[in-house]
């Protein structure tokens, strides 16, 4: 290295799966860029944009050649140090490469170099002559002054061009100046505007152009190309209009797009906050004013007005000059909440979620980063919203499992929110009618302050819950002994419909029915790579594996015995809809499930139909039970509470209790009382019984006892290690080696290795080891050791599902 010894090095967080931050040399004479600024760095054959990381520069391993930063892209830091630090901590905690967190947090476009151009440096003048391709490229560069690889390729051919450019960069003979690189520029949106009118004589014989221009002129605002295409104006039509000077493209900052995800506006009801609401807001307000970290659990029964507390708390934070984040389980499922947020904060709120295009997401993110919005609303990834003066993080439906990302990086937004609130001196407000056992225990031991909203405002009672016992209920012929609609359930729904009220039916399965069965031999059409039964989808007559997505056409005859009596057993939302039509032929209904949400208009349209009354019934999966506020819905039927209850997971009772209680929260929110019918064959089960009583403290008391006895969270911390292999013995062997590696570490309890509940998925065997500990440090040590193994497992810290 010689003279390089004295040169400055920086640590860089790159958006790759590289397990650490990387180290780079700074070009001679370049002042060290501040932490959080973006730099362009060579990585393998590519050039990447990374963030300058704080702290000690790691020691460079022996024998690695050090590379130099190619360009510093920001003059001042792009993200503050605590933000970069948050990503690094989260990466370490979840045993994830830091780059994975960077990619989860920062929109790709802000880390996208685009087509960089190259310029020759002064060193290239007196340099010893080069050979071959590099020499050609350098002389072309010297001649052109500045060129992109595309331009060089057009001139010299693309063969070996990348390698030659790399060699020139590494030798210091060429550089990439930062200005003009895409990642250094803030994103803007491009929109078309009208500059002429549709009665322009040039358009007399061009109906498409005429229509497009009329449309654009009528809009009276810039419109995106995608939006115009939907209105029939193709890029070719726009291009021909542009040639005539009748339209042109402008660039602008994108306005908040919140209205797209909101229910249609309705008159805001002004109400006087209840005493409990006022006290909760005051408590949060005092913590905000103190400007120090604080944590609250807003424990309020469904319909008690938690949203009002969130919004008032956000207003307090804003009044103190700080911004807030409102996390929700899923944007598409809360159009009513978005409407209220938009009604309150207008364009000072921005939505951040994965349904946005990368450009839209970047624009929303940039507005947040520049402090141009007061609040950000979004699902788990919005916990990384780069608000410069964060005062408050609200987590709505804080018990919801979707806050934990199921794929890598497997972070939990609630944990990240807690760390972030601590680092930035912000207030964390978790809200739920059914707090998780972790949250419940934290409130009991005082590590979060509980704020209670004990009742619904006004004289409204909570919905009653009635058990509909399925034992002894006769099944319909052809339903294979299973009951879809019990007669009592039908009676209750009919009552609501007759009174002109609305009903909701919840069945937690997609498709026509869960499976297809051969009545002659019992063949059940499992997915051969996942060991789970395929779901029968009547639309398209297909058998779908919901784990790996593999589709099979429905066979004419049983492949095992040749019989042609194949019949669907069990029920899914499609079958539910069909049966519903049979029983209630005159009732218009809408279906809400993943399939519906993926369709045009999505969940917001389905929910709007139900709100407007166009649909008198709403049928669907768990999605129908999440947080909606429909005053005219009075009866909700949970058809298969038992399905959740028998899930092989220690949280199955908690999930069942939450589902039934949340379901009860969806009805009786208006002036008329609500009723929930829970169909079950296990009415005596504590999760059902406590939900019927809507008694969270009672459920929590029993459930916490169980968790303590078996050392499950919140009384232990979990780490789930999973090994996969084409052959079972291979996966088992790796898992045994994993167990041996950590067997002697203190304060751990190891369960397994054992086949995962989903033993085979997508063609690979899965063997898992569950690590329990009362010490986070011990668990961290175990995870680090497992990660360093020759065959490292997939690690899931604080897993939400053990499947």
Only one of the segments 25-33, 150-158, 192-200, 516-524 lies at the binding site for Zn ion (rule: CB under 5 A); that segment is 516-524
738 binds, among Zn ion, ligand ADP, none (CB under 5 to 8 A by kind): none
Residues 132-140: contacts with CB under 8 Å, at least 24 apart: 132/164, 133/159, 133/160, 133/161, 133/163, 133/164, 134/164, 134/167, 134/168, 136/164, 137/161, 137/164, 137/165, 137/168, 138/168, 138/173, 138/174
Contact residues for 37 (Cβ-Cβ < 8 A; gap 6+):
51, 52, 72, 73, 74, 75, 76, 77, 78
User: Which tokens hold the place of 672?
Assistant: 């008329």
Cis peptide before 714 (omega within 30 of 0): yes
Pick between residue 393 and residue 394 the one whose CB is nearest to ligand ADP: 394
Pick between residue 226 and residue 267 the one whose CB is nearest to ligand ADP: 267
Residue 544 found at the interface with Zn ion (CB under 5 A): no
Residue 548 found at the interface with Zn ion (CB under 5 A): yes
Residue 111 found at the interface with Zn ion (CB under 5 A): no
Residue 561 found at the interface with Zn ion (CB under 5 A): yes
To ligand ADP, the closest distance from the beta carbon of 306 in angstroms equals 3
Strands 502-506 and 617-620: parallel
230 binds, among Zn ion, ligand ADP, none (CB under 5 to 8 A by kind): none
State the number of binding residues for Zn ion (CB under 5 A): 15
306 binds, among Zn ion, ligand ADP, none (CB under 5 to 8 A by kind): ligand ADP
530 binds, among Zn ion, ligand ADP, none (CB under 5 to 8 A by kind): Zn ion
Residue 150 found at the interface with Zn ion (CB under 5 A): no
273 binds, among ligand ADP, Zn ion, none (CB under 5 to 8 A by kind): ligand ADP
To Zn ion, the closest distance from the beta carbon of 744 in angstroms equals 38
Cβ-in-10-Å burial (0-12, 13-18, 19+) of 184 comes to buried
To Zn ion, the closest distance from the beta carbon of 651 in angstroms equals 24
Pick between residue 160 and residue 273 the one whose CB is nearest to ligand ADP: 273
Gap between the Cα atoms of 304 and 282, Å rounded: 17
520 binds, among Zn ion, ligand ADP, none (CB under 5 to 8 A by kind): Zn ion
Gap between the Cα atoms of 398 and 229, Å rounded: 40
DSSP for 345-397 reads HGGGEEE--TTS-HHHHHHHHHHHHTT--SEEEESGGGGG---TTEEEEEETT
Only one of the segments 26-34, 522-530, 725-733, 789-797 lies at the binding site for Zn ion (rule: CB under 5 A); that segment is 522-530
Tell me the β-bridge partners of 467: 678
560 binds, among Zn ion, ligand ADP, none (CB under 5 to 8 A by kind): Zn ion
To ligand ADP, the closest distance from the beta carbon of 335 in angstroms equals 13
Residue 551 found at the interface with Zn ion (CB under 5 A): no
Dihedral pair phi/psi, residue 391, rounded to 5°: -110, -30
The answer to whether 359 and 185 are in contact (CB under 8 A) is: no
To Zn ion, the closest distance from the beta carbon of 623 in angstroms equals 23
Q: What is the CA radius of gyration of the chain?
A: 30
Q: Which of 91, 314, 558, 618 binds Zn ion (CB under 5 A)?
A: 558
The answer to whether 701 and 753 are in contact (CB under 8 A) is: no
To ligand ADP, the closest distance from the beta carbon of 312 in angstroms equals 10
To ligand ADP, the closest distance from the beta carbon of 627 in angstroms equals 7
640 binds, among ligand ADP, Zn ion, none (CB under 5 to 8 A by kind): none
The answer to whether 212 and 203 are in contact (CB under 8 A) is: no
Gap between the Cα atoms of 403 and 411, Å rounded: 8
Pick between residue 56 and residue 269 the one whose CB is nearest to ligand ADP: 269
DSSP for 89-120 reads HHHHHTT--HHHHHHHHS-GGGG---S--BEE
Only one of the segments 204-212, 255-263, 515-523, 748-756 lies at the binding site for Zn ion (rule: CB under 5 A); that segment is 515-523
To Zn ion, the closest distance from the beta carbon of 523 in angstroms equals 4
Gap between the Cα atoms of 40 and 72, Å rounded: 6
Pick between residue 274 and residue 573 the one whose CB is nearest to ligand ADP: 274
Gap between the Cα atoms of 245 and 234, Å rounded: 17
Q: E strand or H helix at 229, and its extent?
A: helix 225-230
Residue 545 found at the interface with Zn ion (CB under 5 A): yes
Pick between residue 100 and residue 611 the one whose CB is nearest to ligand ADP: 611
Gap between the Cα atoms of 23 and 57, Å rounded: 7
Closest listed residue to residue 297, CA positions, set 306, 308, 286, 288: 306
Strands 349-351 and 375-378: parallel
629 binds, among Zn ion, ligand ADP, none (CB under 5 to 8 A by kind): ligand ADP
To ligand ADP, the closest distance from the beta carbon of 461 in angstroms equals 13
Sign of CA pseudo-dihedral 592, 395, 419, 32: positive
Pick between residue 186 and residue 458 the one whose CB is nearest to ligand ADP: 458
Gap between the Cα atoms of 166 and 175, Å rounded: 10
Tell me the β-bridge partners of 294: 427
Residue 531 found at the interface with Zn ion (CB under 5 A): no
Helix/strand/coil percent split, the chain, to 5: 35, 20, 40
Q: Which of 102, 530, 596, 617 binds Zn ion (CB under 5 A)?
A: 530
Tell me the β-bridge partners of 675: 464, 635
In whole angstroms, how far apart are CA 235 and each of 188, 208, 211, 314, 357?
Answer: 20, 12, 14, 43, 19
49 binds, among ligand ADP, Zn ion, none (CB under 5 to 8 A by kind): none
409 binds, among Zn ion, ligand ADP, none (CB under 5 to 8 A by kind): none
Cβ-in-10-Å burial (0-12, 13-18, 19+) of 21 comes to buried
Q: E strand or H helix at 611, and its extent?
A: helix 602-612
Only one of the segments 163-171, 264-272, 368-376, 513-521 lies at the binding site for Zn ion (rule: CB under 5 A); that segment is 513-521
To ligand ADP, the closest distance from the beta carbon of 401 in angstroms equals 18
Q: What is the DSSP letter of 8?
A: -
To ligand ADP, the closest distance from the beta carbon of 351 in angstroms equals 19
Pick between residue 291 and residue 458 the one whose CB is nearest to ligand ADP: 458
Only one of the segments 26-34, 338-346, 472-480, 552-560 lies at the binding site for Zn ion (rule: CB under 5 A); that segment is 552-560
Binding region for ligand ADP (CB under 6 A): 269, 271-274, 277, 300, 302-308, 457-458, 629, 665, 669
Only one of the segments 20-28, 64-72, 310-318, 540-548 lies at the binding site for Zn ion (rule: CB under 5 A); that segment is 540-548
To Zn ion, the closest distance from the beta carbon of 560 in angstroms equals 4
To Zn ion, the closest distance from the beta carbon of 133 in angstroms equals 48
Pick between residue 37 and residue 304 the one whose CB is nearest to ligand ADP: 304
Pick between residue 117 and residue 277 the one whose CB is nearest to ligand ADP: 277
To Zn ion, the closest distance from the beta carbon of 766 in angstroms equals 12
Only one of the segments 368-376, 443-451, 471-479, 520-528 lies at the binding site for Zn ion (rule: CB under 5 A); that segment is 520-528
415 binds, among Zn ion, ligand ADP, none (CB under 5 to 8 A by kind): none
To Zn ion, the closest distance from the beta carbon of 116 in angstroms equals 42
Pick between residue 216 and residue 603 the one whose CB is nearest to ligand ADP: 603
Pick between residue 405 and residue 658 the one whose CB is nearest to ligand ADP: 658
Chain centre distance of CA 158: 40
Gap between the Cα atoms of 197 and 317, Å rounded: 47
**Site for Zn ion, rule CB under 5 A:** 518, 520-521, 523, 527, 529-530, 545, 547-548, 550, 558, 560-561, 563
């Amino acid at each position: 290295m010689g003279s390089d010894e004295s040169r400055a090095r920086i640590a860089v967080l790159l958006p790759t799966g590289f397990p650490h931050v990387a180290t780079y040399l700074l070009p001679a004479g370049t002042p060290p860029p501040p932490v959080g600024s973006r730099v362009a760095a060579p990585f393998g054959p590519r050039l990447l944009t990374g963030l300058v990381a704080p702290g000690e520069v790691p020691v460079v391993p022996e024998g690695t050649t050090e590379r130099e930063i190619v360009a510093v892209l920001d003059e001042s830091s792009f993200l503050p140090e605590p933000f970069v630090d948050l990503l690094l901590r989260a990466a370490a905690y979840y045993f994830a490469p830091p780059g994975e967190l960077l990619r989860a947090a920062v929109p790709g476009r802000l880390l996208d170099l685009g087509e960089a151009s190259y310029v020759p440096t002064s060193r290239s003048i007196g340099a010893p002559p080069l050979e071959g391709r590099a020499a050609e490229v350098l002389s072309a560069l010297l001649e052109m002054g500045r060129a992109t690889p595309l331009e060089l390729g057009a001139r010299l051919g693309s063969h070996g061009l990348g390698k030659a450019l790399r060699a020139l960069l590494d030798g210091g003979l060429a550089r990439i100046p930062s200005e003009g690189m895409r990642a250094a520029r803030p994103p803007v949106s491009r929109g078309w505007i009208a500059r002429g009118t549709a009665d322009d004589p040039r358009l007399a014989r061009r109906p498409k152009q005429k229509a497009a221009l009329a449309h654009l002129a009528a809009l009276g605002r810039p419109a995106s190309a995608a939006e115009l295409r939907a209105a029939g104006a193709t890029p070719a039509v726009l291009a021909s209009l542009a040639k005539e000077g009748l339209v042109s493209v402008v660039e602008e900052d994108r306005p908040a797009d919140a209205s797209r995800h909101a229910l249609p506006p309705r008159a805001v009801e002004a109400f006087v906050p209840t005493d409990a609401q006022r006290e909760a807001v005051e408590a949060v307000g005092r913590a905000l004013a103190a400007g120090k970290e604080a944590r609250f659990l807003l424990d309020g029964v469904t319909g008690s007005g938690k949203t009002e507390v969130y919004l008032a708390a956000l207003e307090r934070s804003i009044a103190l000059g700080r911004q807030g984040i409102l996390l929700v389980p899923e944007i598409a499922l809360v159009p009513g909440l978005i409407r209220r947020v938009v009604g309150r904060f207008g364009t000072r709120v921005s939505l951040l979620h994965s349904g946005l295009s990368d450009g839209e997401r970047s624009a929303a993110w940039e507005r947040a980063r520049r402090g141009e919005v007061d609040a950000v609303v979004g699902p788990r990834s919005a916990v990384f919203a780069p608000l410069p003066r964060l005062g408050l993080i609200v987590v709505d439906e804080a018990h919801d499992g979707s806050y934990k990302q199921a794929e890598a990086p497997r972070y939990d937004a609630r944990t990240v929110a807690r760390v972030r609130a601590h680092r930035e001196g912000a207030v964390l407000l978790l809200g739920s009618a059914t707090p998780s056992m972790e949250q419940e225990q934290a409130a009991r031991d005082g590590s979060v302050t509980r704020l209670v909203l004990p009742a619904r405002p006004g004289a409204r009672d909570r919905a009653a819950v009635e058990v509909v016992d399925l034992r002894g209920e006769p099944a319909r012929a052809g339903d294979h002994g299973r009951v879809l609609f019990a007669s009592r359930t039908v009676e209750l729904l009919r009552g609501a419909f007759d009174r002109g009220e609305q009903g909701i039916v919840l069945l937690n399965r997609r498709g026509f029915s869960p499976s297809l069965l051969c009545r002659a031999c019992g063949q059940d059409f499992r997915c051969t790579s996942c060991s789970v039964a395929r779901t029968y989808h009547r639309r398209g007559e297909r058998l779908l594996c919901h784990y790996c997505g593999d589709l099979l056409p429905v066979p004419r005859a049983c492949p095992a015995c040749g019989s042609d009596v194949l019949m669907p057993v069990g029920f899914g939302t499609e079958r539910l809809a069909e049966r519903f039509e049979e029983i209630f032929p005159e009732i218009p209904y809408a279906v809400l499930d993943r399939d519906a949400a993926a369709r045009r208009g999505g969940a917001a349209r389905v929910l709007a139909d139900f709100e407007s009354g166009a649909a008198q019934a709403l049928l669907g999966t768990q999605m129908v039970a999440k947080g909606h506020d429909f005053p005219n819905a009075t009866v909700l039927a949970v058809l298969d509470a038992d399905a959740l209850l028998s899930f092989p997971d220690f949280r199955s009772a908690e999930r069942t209790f939450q589902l039934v209680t949340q379901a009860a929260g969806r009805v009786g929110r208006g002036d008329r009382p609500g009723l929930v019918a829970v169909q079950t064959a296990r009415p005596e089960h504590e999760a059902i019984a406590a939900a019927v009583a809507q008694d969270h403290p009672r459920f929590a008391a029993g459930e916490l006892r169980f968790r303590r006895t078996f050392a499950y969270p919140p009384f232990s911390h979990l780490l789930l290690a999973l090994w996969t292999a084409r052959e079972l013995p291979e996966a088992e062997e790796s898992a045994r080696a994993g167990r041996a590696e950590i067997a002697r570490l203190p304060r751990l309890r190891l369960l397994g290795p054992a086949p995962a509940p989903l033993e085979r998925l997508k063609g690979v065997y899965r063997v898992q080891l569950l690590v329990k500990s009362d010490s986070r440090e011990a668990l961290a040590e175990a995870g680090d050791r497992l990660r360093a193994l020759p065959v490292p497992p997939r690690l899931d810290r604080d897993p939400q599902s053990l499947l």
